[in-house]
Structure 1
């Protein structure tokens, strides 16, 4: 069964070069390509930012502007599509500038053959996959697949700043598994890991897709609720506590245990002017929940 063609964005202001490149791709032997052409800097950037392409072939010079500027702008806006520069300039200076801007390869127009271009695209796709996986590993907790502490801290700073600038509500729930040390001591660390992974799945399944869940410590989790007022966040936290209590977890072959959580809730703009103060208020509420008997949610006051 034939595979679907790879969508390639060609950003090039020379119509003749467009036809040459399309012919080179048509003569590829191992892959099929579908070319979408953008003749200007603005059109090319707009299309590239959609993220709908396997790779991008980018002309180094685009009228009065250049491909380096376009690539830097695309990367700054979070686009990670593999980009291959096409240029008539073979100098090492241009080569280095392209790589520094985030290009995955650099080809000199007069030296390109179908085999060279196809190999460059395939290499760029593999490199892009590897880089995305590295970024995922750098931001994800290995056990649960949730955001890790480093990624959470960065996200929290961004969202607190956005909420402060635009006056939007933002809520934070810090949750801790109750008596988790007893689980580890009684059933062993593999069972404890299974409980953490299950708890993570429960938390993710109970919040909206726009919200973010992170594992920020051993048995500690955080839920960042976008555009959410304090009273609504408290309702969510109480629901999470209830849901966790009501879902017995199976560990090993025949053992089922009930796990409970405690939760502390804070919300902007009511609590805290900075991410550190925001987090401290949620932590304080969590401490109150723990001291109040656990298996409950407390709203910062």
Structure 2
């Protein structure tokens, strides 16, 4: 049994040690002494010991305060408070703050210490089991969210006191849902367990690794003297995700996005909430700018975050204030360059006249979930406009609408589309729904039913931004998909990049094999079209043919072409 005595008086230490050695044989107990608890990380040290005796008066420190601090960090080593006076108030506070017992130094005997130690160790075993349940993630063995919050608070207080650097890394797995859906939950669990082990090996023992839930992890880098140390450790964490994880004979690749908040020496941090918010905002930005990367929060982000909050408030009222409107970009047939449909594009002009781009407000709408109301409005307005065109005998169909995975997951999504089509007397085959490849594959289990239900009644489905995600070809063949859209990032570089040209050719070949129509977006020059081995059924879209237009300008555009397409009846 390993015993620690925390007392600044060596005479008292030796006295307690002698009584302990009478209470237990010398081969049963080993006694260590700490004179200054501030000189060490007492919580870390206590993990080595079976029991600890703490004097009430240690210089300017009180034993009760020490007990309170170490208990708040999840310590389960029994703490016995020693004092020279019999004071009921100290007794009460000692128990309240987590002491296992309270003893008067003058009353110590070998028999008393033997009993107190045995009872305290029995309580420790019981507390260990409860603490493991309360503070440990059952799958990975890492600290859970509750334990993480405690450790982060202590680490932040220590960093502020010692003037060292502290860094919080929030880690979100980019394609975990794909692995879970494709290979099953056992594969997902295996990935989480392996990544947990790798993360622990990548950092020091004094750092904190936690699983916050689902596919989210957190790492706290503690007490670093130089910012370069944090940068080097960040690289080690990123390296964790470079190698595949073997599930049986199947290699699984799991990438991650990481947001980092750094507390610098001398920086005054209000709370752990502030540090968490900074890391979370950095994580949010990196996931929307491009995944599998790391982004450090910087003060300049605060301005953009304030702007985003302002936009979120304004966006929530945009429909009621008639600030949202729709544009339509024509798609033309490869066969004869006739218009063969349009894509609906959402636009926002604020009450002050400022135009906010969809690349700015769509992520905000999704994060705040007001995309649900906006999405319903877009569907209804698109169907209303389509009805108007049909009544004018204009065959501007199909009309393609971008759909967020949040919309598909919302109860009543398919019913809303079916009811809206019925309300405006529109045939389902005149409506095309677009979902990005990444969103589709990350939410495959949630969206499959909606795809099937709407496909069964005649609606068409298109995969947008194809080539930027990680579709499983077997899944793609099983889904009721009619079209795939080659992402503009490949098209814009097709004349200068052999790899972009090869990717486009592979996608087109894949589409032909699966009997799918290809839509090439981002066409800005005829020379780009000549490099693509397209079939006559494929479609083109881009500024080379037309910019997004208002409904009225679209009719004018059609009238300026040689042949105005007419509805068949």
TM range (shorter): 0.5 to 0.7
Match of residue 185 from structure 1: 181
Please list, as runs of the form range in 1=range in 2, the aligned pairs for 1:146-295 lying within 5 A after superposition.
146-164=142-160, 166-226=162-222, 227=224, 232-245=229-242, 247-251=243-247, 253-269=248-264, 273-274=269-270, 275-295=272-292
Tell me the C-alpha RMSD between the 2 structures: 4.8
Match of residue 144 from structure 1: 140
Structure 1: 5+ residue stretches without partners: none
In structure 2, C-alpha distance between the alignment counterparts of 1:184 and 1:19, rounded to whole Å: 56
Go from structure 1 to structure 2 and tell me whether the alpha carbon gap of 1:262 and 1:35 turns closer, same or farther (over 3 Å shift). Answer: closer
Confirm whether residue 72 of structure 1 aligns to residue 64 of structure 2: yes
Q: Which has the higher contact order (CA 8 A, sep 6+)?
A: 1
Moved more, 276-285 or 156-165: 156-165
Which SS does the other structure have where 2:203 is aligned?
coil
Go from structure 1 to structure 2 and tell me whether the alpha carbon gap of 1:287 and 1:127 turns closer, same or farther (over 3 Å shift). Answer: same
CA shift at 1:202, angstroms? 0.9
Count residues in correspondence: 280
In structure 2, C-alpha distance between the alignment counterparts of 1:152 and 1:158, rounded to whole Å: 10
Are the equivalent residues in 1 in contact too, given 2:168–2:276 (CA < 8 A)?
Answer: yes
In structure 2, C-alpha distance between the alignment counterparts of 1:243 and 1:97, rounded to whole Å: 46
In structure 1, C-alpha distance between the alignment counterparts of 2:269 and 2:102, rounded to whole Å: 47
Please list, as runs of the form range in 1=range in 2, the aligned pairs for 1:57-68 lying within 5 A after superposition.
none
Please list, as runs of the form range in 1=range in 2, the aligned pairs for 1:113-152 lying within 5 A after superposition.
118=114, 120-152=116-148
Q: Deviations over 1:207-230 (max 9, x none)?
A: 122322121231111111222665
CA shift at 1:182, angstroms? 1.0
Match of residue 83 from structure 1: 80
Are the equivalent residues in 1 in contact too, given 2:195–2:240 (CA < 8 A)?
Answer: no
Are the equivalent residues in 1 in contact too, given 2:80–2:100 (CA < 8 A)?
Answer: yes
In structure 2, C-alpha distance between the alignment counterparts of 1:45 and 1:238, rounded to whole Å: 34
CA shift at 1:150, angstroms? 2.1
In structure 1, C-alpha distance between the alignment counterparts of 2:219 and 2:51, rounded to whole Å: 35
Q: Deviations over 1:23-52 (max 9, x none)?
A: 9636x8xx945678x9xxx97999xx7757
Q: Which has the larger radius of gyration?
A: 2
Which SS does the other structure have where 1:145 is aligned?
coil
CA shift at 1:240, angstroms? 2.3
Q: TM-score, normalized by length of structure 1?
A: 0.67
CA shift at 1:156, angstroms? 2.6
Structure 2: 5+ residue stretches without partners: 72-76, 299-569
In structure 2, C-alpha distance between the alignment counterparts of 1:141 and 1:260, rounded to whole Å: 21
Please list, as runs of the form range in 1=range in 2, the aligned pairs for 1:36-47 lying within 5 A after superposition.
none
Go from structure 1 to structure 2 and tell me whether the alpha carbon gap of 1:99 and 1:153 turns closer, same or farther (over 3 Å shift). Answer: closer
Which SS does the other structure have where 1:259 is aligned?
coil
Match of residue 23 from structure 2: 25
In structure 1, C-alpha distance between the alignment counterparts of 2:154 and 2:18, rounded to whole Å: 45
Q: Deviations over 1:111-169 (max 9, x none)?
A: x896x865553332121222234334322222222222222223333333444455432
Are the equivalent residues in 1 in contact too, given 2:173–2:257 (CA < 8 A)?
Answer: yes
In structure 2, C-alpha distance between the alignment counterparts of 1:181 and 1:141, rounded to whole Å: 19
